[in-house]
Amino acid sequence: MELIAIILWVIAAVLFTASFDMLRSVNPDTRLPFFFGRPPNNPPQVAVLRLLAFILFLASAWVFSDAYGRAAGPFFIVLGALPGCLRNYLHNRRVAAASEGGS
């Protein structure tokens, strides 16, 4: 059962990171919100990817919580969301640096 949870968790992390990459590709010169707010160009595929990632994260967290205790589920969700958030942070830093250097 844990193998299924690991597979679901990896797929969810990839989907979540891919959703941020999709936003970065259609908004190359604008800052992107992390979780709340809408970027200027927001394709509907991003919402679908994030919904799938959310469902898969919840499913894997449920199994991890059963196997390793209550705190494991949220821990693994946060851990899986970190790569996408880090890529978004680096994108926003690059946009801010480009706007400071260009002004």
Which helix (H) or strand (E) covers residue 36, if one does? none
More reliable by pLDDT, 96 or 1: 96
pLDDT at position 103: 58
* Total-model pTM: 0.88
Instruction: Identify the residue whose tokens are 């959703």.
Output: 19
What pLDDT score was predicted for residue 102? 66
pLDDT at 84: 93
The residue ranges of every structural domain in the chain are 2-102
Residue 94 pLDDT > 90: yes
pLDDT at 25 over 70: yes
